[in-house]
Amino acid sequence: MCHELRKRALVRAMFATAWRPLLIAVAVATTSIAGAHAQGVAERARLCGTCHGEDGNSPMPNTPSLAGQPEFFIINQLFLMREGVRKVEAMAALVKDLKDDDLQALAKHYAAQPAKPSGEPIDQALVQRGAEIAGPRRCVSCHQPSLAGADQIPRISKQRVDYLTMALKELRDGRRPGSDTLMSAAVAGLSDADLAALAHYAASR
């Protein structure tokens, strides 16, 4: 019996020794792949940061902040741009070769970044007027009471005022391909001044 046990122990030792290099190689390869993936996301985020800000909070006029946007919203928008449904000239070359995994990785990255105010001047009179408009238009029913958005609905709190104003005008005037038609209906009939008020209100939240 002791002889049999010693033989089994020897076989186990030989098996472990034979497989150890392979197990080490697999572990190293897995680590390398994870590192390369992280590096890929970091590199893409660095390119995006040229316009959208290093931390996803845009310093550039008429360019949206991505920080704190719902993950699914970012994936959805990148997908629409990649497929040519939503045409944004500045983004076309950047998204055309992105794989689905790239879209998800970028979305996770930006969704995890804290949203910050853009630093643009906020007109409190317009904030008050925007709140009066937003109530009857039921903005919070989709964008949430905090205006932080959810799922496919974007965060509009702390978003750039100039970008929001531009986007709302495009929605009202039917000049935003690939957008949610519910939003076009929500802002239909509003004046430029009304839309500016809504932008100041959202940015102030």
Three-state SS sequence of the chain: CHHHHHHHHHHHHHHHHHHHHHHHHHHHHHHHHHHHHHHHHHHHHHHHHHHHCCCCCCCCCCCCCCCCCCHHHHHHHHHHHHCCCCCCHHHHHHHCCCCHHHHHHHHHHHHCCCCCCCCCCCCHHHHHHHHHHHHHHCCHHHHCCCCCCECCECCCCCCCHHHHHHHHHHHHCCCCCCCCHHHHHHCCCCCHHHHHHHHHHHHHC
Q: How much is the pLDDT for 65?
A: 98
Q: How much is the pLDDT for 27?
A: 35
Q: How much is the pLDDT for 14?
A: 46
The structure tokens 């039917």 sit at 174
d(CA 191, CA 189): 7
Backbone angles phi, psi at 150, to 5 degrees: -170, 145
Tell me the fold of 124-204: Cytochrome Bc1 Complex; Chain D, domain 2 (1.10.760)
CATH architecture of the domain covering 2-111: Orthogonal Bundle (1.10)
The structure tokens 């950047």 sit at 94
Average pLDDT by stretches of 10, the chain with 205 residues: 48 44 35 45 88 96 98 97 93 93 96 97 98 97 97 97 98 88 94 98 98
Asked if residue 32 lies in contact with residue 20, where contact means CB atoms within 8 angstroms, the answer is: no
Q: How much is the pLDDT for 1?
A: 46
Q: What is the pTM of this model?
A: 0.79
d(CA 10, CA 131): 77
CATH 1.10.760.10-classified regions of the chain: 2-111, 124-204
Alpha carbon 23 to chain centroid, angstroms: 37
Task: Provide the residue type at 147 as one letter.
Answer: L
Query: What sign does the dihedral 35-40-41-45 (CA atoms) show?
Result: positive
Q: How much is the pLDDT for 8?
A: 52
Q: How much is the pLDDT for 42?
A: 80
Q: How much is the pLDDT for 18?
A: 45
Q: How much is the pLDDT for 39?
A: 52
